Structure 1
Amino acid sequence: MRAAQLIGTVCGVGYLRPGPGTWGSAAALPLAWGLHVLGGFPLLALATLAVFFGGLWATKVMTAGQEDHDPSEIVIDEVAGQFIAIWAVSYPAWAHGIEVTALWPGWVAGFVLFRLFDIFKPGPVGWADRRGDALGVMLDDVIAGVFAAIGVLILAGISHGVLGL
């Protein structure tokens, strides 16, 4: 149970108040940066898979026998979703040899969009959340992360294509 708790709460970040989900998302950003610096987009993508499956296991263990299928202290799902949102920054930086911090507006947009999709749970994000199981806990944030990544790409397209910035 101790390992599951460390993973599920991201070493205790999930116990921070207020807004443990926002704290979990914020904790994901320096982790994503470090992974990108160490191994580029491929390492971040592999780490995302590891976080997803590790988070799924930790969530199952932490919620076994509990009525609350998604306690607020479990924030590993936010890390997985935030990593996916940052894919929209990490991949182009890696593919084009750009310093990933030069794309800082994408980091900000990815964080804000992910939090908005995670909080308001539109469409499939809400569907996944309503599953009421560990997979739903992880999937709603994965889907929110995909939506956020798409949003970052759209904003980048507008900024660089339409506005020419």
Structure 2
Amino acid sequence: MTKTNKKPLKPSTLTHWLAVGFGSGLAPKAPGTFGTIAALPIVWAMSYLSLYGFLAVTLVSCVVGIYLCGKTAEDFNYHDHPGIVWDEFAGMMITMIAVPMTWQYLLAGFILFRIFDILKPWPISWLDKHVDGGFGIMIDDILAGLMALGCMHLGMMWLN
């Protein structure tokens, strides 16, 4: 699978549409940021679930994302095409686990997740370069979400 195929994605299946974040990943600039923005209403709606419900939806999104992202990358012959943003959805869900759903926390979570996802500090950068397939597409954003989650909870402890 190539990493340099710059052909635009043309989603044709439900799997593709989910992988491109309902079309948000088709933005010509900053598709990962647009994908994360598209995840915000879903994350906010998930706040009405119990903690266990939130965790269950997040876990299912991560596991299903391995298939969605892997299949879409395979279909378009491009590993981790920038338009594949389901991993951003999952990462943002992880970021907001057990965090109060206010606009301030949602904004802080968004910023922290994007920082970790864009800068890719170690070990995120290592995983991004060395793990392939759907799992490889998902794991760096899962870890970015976990790092952002840790920062969110440290910040909440500091504020209280």
- What TM-score, normalized to structure 1? 0.82
CA contact (8 A) 1:80 1:141 kept: yes
Q: In 1, Cα distance between the equivalents of 2:140 and 2:16?
A: 20
- What corresponds to 2:53 in structure 1? 43
Give CA-to-partner distance per residue, 1:68-98, whole Å, 9 cap, x none. Answer: 3100110000000000001141xxx4xxxxx
Matches of 1:12 and 1:65, distance apart in 2 = 17
Percentage identity across paired residues of the two chains:
32
**Deviations along 1:19-68, whole A, 9 cap, x unmatched?**
1101111111110111221x232222111112112211111211226553
**The 10-residue stretch of structure 1 (47-56 or 136-145) with the greater mean CA deviation from structure 2:** 47-56
Q: 1:23-102 alignment to 2 at 5 Å? A: 23-37=34-48, 39-64=49-74, 68-89=78-99, 93=100, 100-101=101-102
The one-letter code of the counterpart of 2:43 is: A
Tell me, in whole angstroms, the C-alpha distance in 1 between the residues paired with 2:121 and 2:115: 9
Any stretches of 5+ residues in structure 2 without a counterpart?
1-11
User: Which amino acid is 2:61 matched to?
Assistant: V
Aligned counterparts of 1:81 and 1:53: Cα–Cα separation in 2: 12
Q: Which has the higher helix share?
A: 1
**2:124 aligns to what?**
125
**Take 2:97 and 2:24, find their aligned partners in 1: how far apart are those partners?**
22
* One-letter identity of the residue aligned with 2:25: G
Q: Which amino acid aligns with 2:114?
A: R
Q: Which amino acid aligns with 2:128?
A: D
* TM-score under structure 2 length normalisation: 0.85
Q: Please give the secondary structure, in 1, of the residue aligned with 2:96.
A: helix
Per-residue CA shift, 1:100-136, capped at 9, x if unaligned? Answer: 33xx332222110100000010012112211232211
Shift of 1:140: 0.3
Q: What RMSD over aligned residues (CA atoms) do the two structures have, in Å? A: 1.6
Q: Matches of 2:46 and 2:154 in 1, distance apart?
A: 24
